[in-house]
Structure 1
Amino acid sequence: MEELKHECGVAMIRLLKPLEYYEKKYGTWMYGLNKLYLLMEKQHNRGQEGAGLACVKLQANPGEEYMFRERALGTSAITEIFEAVHSNYVSLTETQLHNAEYAEQVLPFAGEIYMGHLRYSTTGKSGISYIHPFLRRNNWRAKNLSLCGNFNLTNVDEIFEKITAKGQHPRKYADTYIMLEEVGHRLDREVERLYAKCENEGLEGMDITYAIEDQIDLANVLKKTTPGWDGGYVICGITGSGECFSIRDPWGIRPAFWYADDEVVVLASERPVIQTAFNLSSDSIKELLPGQALFVNKKGNIRTEQINSPKKNNACSFERIYFSRGSDKDIYQERKQLGKNLVKPLLDAIKNDVDHTVFSFIPNTAEVAFYGMLEGFEVYLNQLKKRYLTTLKNGVSEQELEHILSMRIRFEKAVIKDIKLRTFIAEGNTRNDLAAHVYDITYGSVEPYSDNLVVIDDSIVRGTTLKQSIIGILDRLHPKKIIIVSSSPQVRYPDYYGIDMSRMKEFIAFRAAIALLKERNMKQLIADVYQKCIAQRNLPKTEMVNHVKEIYAPFTANEISGKIAELLTPSDTKAEVQIVYQTLEGLHSSCPDHPGDWYFSGDYPTPGGMKLVNEAFINYVEQEF
């Protein structure tokens, strides 16, 4: 319901056969290019601010271009970049178009390595210069580097100081540029090391170039650069000489999956997109492990290597709840389980009155959790029927049997996502008024003044859409009570690893806790926490603690939920409104392999996150008080 911007999506393809092979078997040498398009389109949910692709041609001669890139801005960026690539081929004859040897020698983007990226800005920086992949050019093929990533680093300032102290001068103060320069610098050193080695062995001219390209080891480069990166990341890179790699952060915060056979190596941010694009079973696809890198060298040899020691597993749970494609078999079951976990608190909210309760969901991302919730209520209802039958000692009358058989869970599509607003339509108050109509209701789906209406959402972060639209339109159905239920716990803390949640006052849970402190004459606690955050500013990051937790400590989760409901309910609402959240325990039982829960618990996986949450609270107090 509340659209959050995610960190990004990546895709990488390495063809292991000559282009002629794909032309003969699949009818086109564009096999890799077409598969990259599929991988990117299937991950469009991960980035709609821009897209880019890079390509390396392995068989280019000196003086011929061998590294290509195309980028575009906007929600139609994927279409634009592939149209731009295909515009190079529109004037070709049918014979030329299917001549793989001609394509390899002459045509741009006719290569063996492809890398794609989808971007959502998490820093507020925009423009074509911030669209991945990034390029670092050099006259040596092996020193040419292109990078893209799904990431956010928390210690850009430290890395910037480190590399500028060595004399480097990054073009921009942004984590991608800084990473490009850092990796590029180590790549230069690796090439120079091999150059000296080959020269000592008596090699000359192009023989040195070929020897370097055959011996270069990007693991050496990554082992020198990545240990200092604090944050969640999956970084992909390709060199002009035909090396490609992908590396995952040692906490496993951001995901990556890969597959290889004798024709292709492919990597993407999500497993089901590889399944769909290549028609594979899920068990044939591997997950890139925390701290691990996947390498494919110029000769097409594939290997994985542990670059950084894995840390405590903190794979992101919000990734599973909200951003990842629900078509993944594990994610689908996890989201259903999140819905099942909500049965007991919802029974309390409706006082066990299932007969007079209608269940629905807020389209479209909460639909799977809704199915799980229904399954949970069906189990409850069957148990209720069983207990009812066992109490009947003298057999079952036809009337009683009719009553038992008629007991069912009532569900309706009460909420409809009706329109998508365009920013050019209106601004200011007029736009807000239009925003209230993004969703609509199905009239007649609720018995007025008699039914409870339970509506499930996947998360309630800021609460803006609930207050401006959802609760108001649900009230038009005249339910006795509206229960909004979140399949995720209360989002209390900012994220610093790639999702655009970085300011304390954005969170309705935080605003509710502050409101409770003010109501109960506990404002001094705000000042105390502020002073504690200030006091540890000069401590090493590893010694910092999350003092913001103390803001929530005086209250139960139900007290905060109650205040959230009060803050989000429009003043003219007739129905009683209650908000129910998933518990942390329910989250972990549903997503056992993804324990990263810092949004909800405040337990950040890296020192950089701990530092930044305290800074966020300091900024909040200084701006608001």
Structure 2
Amino acid sequence: MEEIKEDCGVALIRLLKPLEYYQQKYGTWMYGLNKLYLMMEKQHNRGQEGAGMACVKLDTQPGHEYMFRERAEGSNAITEIFGKVHKNYAGMSAQQLADVDHAKAGLPFAGELYMGHLRYSTTGKTGISYVHPFLRRNNWRAKNLCFCGNFNMTNVDEIFEKLTLQGQCPRIYSDTYIMLELMGHRLDREVERNFAEAKAKGLTNTDITRYIEDHVRMSNVLKTTMPDFDGGYVVCGVTGSGEMFSMRDPWGIRPAFYYKDDEVVALASERPVLQTTFDLECEDVEELKPGTALMVKRNGECSIERILAPRGDAACSFERIYFSRGSDRDIYNERKKLGEQLTGPILKAVNHDVEHTVFSYIPNTAEVAYYGMLDGLTQHLNERKIKQIEALGHTPSHEELKSIMNAYVRSEKAAWKDIKLRTFIAEGNSRNDLASHVYDITYGSIDAGKDNLVIIDDSIVRGTTLKKSILRILDRLHPKKMVIVSSAPQIRYPDYYGIDMPCLEEFCVFRATIALLKDRHMEHVIHAIYEACLEELHKPKERMTNVVRAIYEPFTTEEINAKIVEMLRPSGVTTPIELVYQSIEGLHEAMPGYKGDWYFTGRFPTPGGTKLCNQAFVNYYESVEKDIATTGV
């Protein structure tokens, strides 16, 4: 319901043929550049705060640029960076643009390796210096490294300390920059290893350079860089000498998919991106397995190499519920299943009164779950019709059949999401009033005072949009009862692997639970968990337990739901409201292959996640509860 941000989307393309091949077959040597643009636009959902791209040109002569990069900020960043690239070709005739030799010799971004990135910040850090790809320069082509990724690391402090103990002095404290420097350091060592081998073979001068570029093994770089990182990641990179790689974390938290034929190797964060860009079937696209890397050498040889042993089975379920494009075949079916499985709880909430209930959804990400919900309700209604006919005990008349068969699931588009309203007014009350109109309704879509209104959404996180906009605007329809349905379970815990949900107090479920504890004079539970968190944080992180989970144990889901409604109900809204959440069992039934459920269960796949969750409760207690105890406010 509220916009949640994720870091980020990646795209890689390696052309396996000379540029002349693409000019002859597709009418342009810009085949790779154009495909990168499509892949990035098709992943616009994954990042609208910035975008960047890089290109490497093979076999250049000294004195000529071979590594190019463009970056921009803002929701139009993709258009901006590709616009800048094409300005290099402005004023050229069609004949000149078709001259492949001219392009290879002198035009920027006329290369064989392309890498793109879309950014959402999950750290609050903004500015062009934080937009990927990052670039590390060197006069040796093989030591140039351009790097980007979809990741968030939980142990930047440990890696930073490791670097400083080695004698390095990083200029920036961020996971991206530190990973670049660590990987660059290991790339330097790999080049130097090959330099020593070349010297031992008696090679000199440029023969040494060619030997290095032919024998660099990026798998060695990854194997000596990635073992210490704790987090969810897909890291990608290209070197100035033409190596390309992409590696997925050993827990399988963040997604990556790839495709290879005799013309191209390509990788993206989502499968439909590759299907649409290259006109493929689902079965043509492979998922990069946890702990492995897609490696493409400068000569075009492609392989999948094991970098780290798998450390768990924690593919992110929230990717499937919310972030990834619903056009993926499997994700579409999973989202429908999530909606269908809520049929029983929804019917219970409306007292099985389907005839006087209108079903709708919150645009736009909940639409597929809505179709699944309608399927489940239709199936329920059909079964009820069969039982009614069977119970007649005689051959039904036309009128009897008509009376039974005319019952149907009433579906309407009750809510509309308008274009984002720009708030030019700084004064608080005015801003809040404008924010309340982000959504609008279809007037007359329900029978006021007689019909229930069921609205499904993909998730309920902070509850802010419910309180400030949705509940108030839906109340204008004057339903008999409102039922707000979440196709995801209750979100109870922060995320530390790339999704913008770092603080416990942001979640309406957590706030409601704290309020229940105080309502029932159970403040001692809050303090006890704080003390338990402090104790855990003195242990090595590998031995820590997520003791924050105990905060929810005194209450049922229904009790927490009722408190959420109480807290989120706008003033003046008196319509009965009920919340219905997906169950954990239902989540796993809908997507059995995606077991990363830490947002809902608190079972973090890595020690770093557990540590940071305990720390999050300490931060909450010391910033909120201690103040209350001290000031009474």
| Pairwise TM-score range, normalised by the shorter structure | over 0.9
- Deviation at residue 427 of structure 1 after TM alignment: 5.3
Contact persistence 1:270–1:324 (CA under 8 A): yes
Map 1:72-151; keep pairs closer than 5 Å.
72-151=72-151
User: Given the alignment of the two structures, is residue 416 of structure 1 paired with residue 416 of structure 2, yes or no?
Assistant: yes
Tell me what 1:23 maps to: 23
The letter of the residue matching 1:337 is K
Tell me what 1:524 maps to: 524
Deviations 1:382-433 (A, max 9, x none): 1000110111013213332121111100010000112312244655321211
Contact persistence 2:119–2:131 (CA under 8 A): yes
Supply the distance in 1 between the matched residues of 2:406 and 2:94 (Cα, whole angstroms): 66
Supply the distance in 2 between the matched residues of 1:71 and 1:487 (Cα, whole angstroms): 36
Supply the distance in 2 between the matched residues of 1:212 and 1:421 (Cα, whole angstroms): 56
Supply the distance in 2 between the matched residues of 1:307 and 1:13 (Cα, whole angstroms): 21
Tell me what 2:460 maps to: 460
Map 1:348-497; keep pairs closer than 5 Å.
348-424=348-424, 428-497=428-497
Supply the distance in 1 between the matched residues of 2:474 and 2:2 (Cα, whole angstroms): 17
Contact persistence 1:238–1:244 (CA under 8 A): yes
Contact persistence 1:360–1:370 (CA under 8 A): yes
The letter of the residue matching 1:111 is G
Supply the distance in 1 between the matched residues of 2:121 and 2:467 (Cα, whole angstroms): 26
Deviations 1:423-482 (A, max 9, x none): 446553212111111110001111111110000000000000000011111111110000
- Deviation at residue 571 of structure 1 after TM alignment: 2.5
The letter of the residue matching 1:221 is V
The letter of the residue matching 2:623 is Q
The letter of the residue matching 1:569 is R
Map 1:289-328; keep pairs closer than 5 Å.
289-328=289-328
The letter of the residue matching 2:116 is G
Contact persistence 1:59–1:104 (CA under 8 A): no
- Deviation at residue 199 of structure 1 after TM alignment: 0.3
Deviations 1:98-156 (A, max 9, x none): 11111011001100000000000011111000000000000100000000000000000
Contact persistence 2:339–2:372 (CA under 8 A): yes
Map 1:573-588; keep pairs closer than 5 Å.
573-588=573-588
Supply the distance in 1 between the matched residues of 2:297 and 2:398 (Cα, whole angstroms): 75
Supply the distance in 1 between the matched residues of 2:611 and 2:574 (Cα, whole angstroms): 44
User: Given the alignment of the two structures, is residue 46 of structure 1 paired with residue 46 of structure 2, yes or no?
Assistant: yes
Map 1:245-260; keep pairs closer than 5 Å.
245-260=245-260
SS of match in other structure, 2:521 = coil
User: Given the alignment of the two structures, is residue 504 of structure 1 paired with residue 504 of structure 2, yes or no?
Assistant: yes
User: Given the alignment of the two structures, is residue 238 of structure 1 paired with residue 246 of structure 2, yes or no?
Assistant: no
SS of match in other structure, 1:245 = strand
Tell me what 2:68 maps to: 68
Supply the distance in 1 between the matched residues of 2:500 and 2:222 (Cα, whole angstroms): 27
Supply the distance in 1 between the matched residues of 2:69 and 2:596 (Cα, whole angstroms): 35
Tell me what 1:534 maps to: 534
Supply the distance in 2 between the matched residues of 1:485 and 1:43 (Cα, whole angstroms): 27
Supply the distance in 2 between the matched residues of 1:474 and 1:403 (Cα, whole angstroms): 31
Map 1:86-235; keep pairs closer than 5 Å.
86-235=86-235
- Deviation at residue 63 of structure 1 after TM alignment: 1.1
Q: Percent identity?
A: 64
Tell me what 2:342 maps to: 342
- Root mean square deviation, CA, Å: 0.8
The letter of the residue matching 1:493 is Y
Tell me what 2:631 maps to: none
Tell me what 2:592 maps to: 592
Supply the distance in 2 between the matched residues of 1:25 and 1:331 (Cα, whole angstroms): 34
Supply the distance in 2 between the matched residues of 1:345 and 1:53 (Cα, whole angstroms): 47
Structure 1 window deviating more from structure 2 (421-430 vs 281-290): it is 421-430
The letter of the residue matching 2:324 is S
Supply the distance in 2 between the matched residues of 1:422 and 1:280 (Cα, whole angstroms): 40
The letter of the residue matching 2:253 is I
Tell me what 2:630 maps to: none
Contact persistence 1:415–1:441 (CA under 8 A): yes
SS of match in other structure, 1:620 = helix
Structure 1 stretches of at least 4 aligned residues deviating more than 3 Å after TM superposition: 423-427
SS of match in other structure, 1:184 = helix
- Deviation at residue 604 of structure 1 after TM alignment: 0.2
- Deviation at residue 566 of structure 1 after TM alignment: 1.3
Supply the distance in 1 between the matched residues of 2:10 and 2:477 (Cα, whole angstroms): 44
The letter of the residue matching 2:211 is A
Contact persistence 1:59–1:105 (CA under 8 A): no
Contact persistence 2:423–2:434 (CA under 8 A): no
Deviations 1:200-252 (A, max 9, x none): 11000000000000011001111111011100000000000000000000000
Contact persistence 2:60–2:66 (CA under 8 A): yes
The letter of the residue matching 1:284 is D
SS of match in other structure, 1:225 = coil
Supply the distance in 1 between the matched residues of 2:394 and 2:177 (Cα, whole angstroms): 80
Structure 1 residue ranges without an equivalent (≥5) = none
Supply the distance in 2 between the matched residues of 1:32 and 1:480 (Cα, whole angstroms): 57
Supply the distance in 2 between the matched residues of 1:424 and 1:198 (Cα, whole angstroms): 64
Pair 1:326–1:526, CA change in 2 (3 A): same
The letter of the residue matching 1:368 is V
Structure 2 residue ranges without an equivalent (≥5) = 626-633
Supply the distance in 2 between the matched residues of 1:290 and 1:365 (Cα, whole angstroms): 27
Supply the distance in 1 between the matched residues of 2:607 and 2:123 (Cα, whole angstroms): 19
Deviations 1:361-387 (A, max 9, x none): 000000000000000001100100011
SS of match in other structure, 2:392 = coil
Supply the distance in 2 between the matched residues of 1:424 and 1:597 (Cα, whole angstroms): 39
SS of match in other structure, 2:401 = helix
SS of match in other structure, 1:548 = helix
Supply the distance in 2 between the matched residues of 1:200 and 1:135 (Cα, whole angstroms): 31
When the two structures are aligned, how many residues end up with a matched partner? 625
Contact persistence 2:516–2:563 (CA under 8 A): yes
Structure 1 window deviating more from structure 2 (56-65 vs 327-336): it is 56-65
Supply the distance in 2 between the matched residues of 1:475 and 1:163 (Cα, whole angstroms): 57
SS of match in other structure, 1:92 = coil
- Deviation at residue 289 of structure 1 after TM alignment: 0.2
Supply the distance in 2 between the matched residues of 1:238 and 1:442 (Cα, whole angstroms): 51
Supply the distance in 1 between the matched residues of 2:161 and 2:600 (Cα, whole angstroms): 32
Contact persistence 1:478–1:574 (CA under 8 A): no
- Deviation at residue 570 of structure 1 after TM alignment: 1.2
- Deviation at residue 167 of structure 1 after TM alignment: 1.2
SS of match in other structure, 2:259 = strand
TM-score by length of 2: 0.98
The letter of the residue matching 1:125 is K
Supply the distance in 2 between the matched residues of 1:397 and 1:122 (Cα, whole angstroms): 64
Contact persistence 1:136–1:146 (CA under 8 A): yes
SS of match in other structure, 1:294 = strand
- Deviation at residue 352 of structure 1 after TM alignment: 0.6
Structure 1 window deviating more from structure 2 (413-422 vs 360-369): it is 413-422
Contact persistence 1:253–1:596 (CA under 8 A): yes
The letter of the residue matching 2:386 is K
Supply the distance in 1 between the matched residues of 2:192 and 2:147 (Cα, whole angstroms): 21
Supply the distance in 2 between the matched residues of 1:184 and 1:214 (Cα, whole angstroms): 18
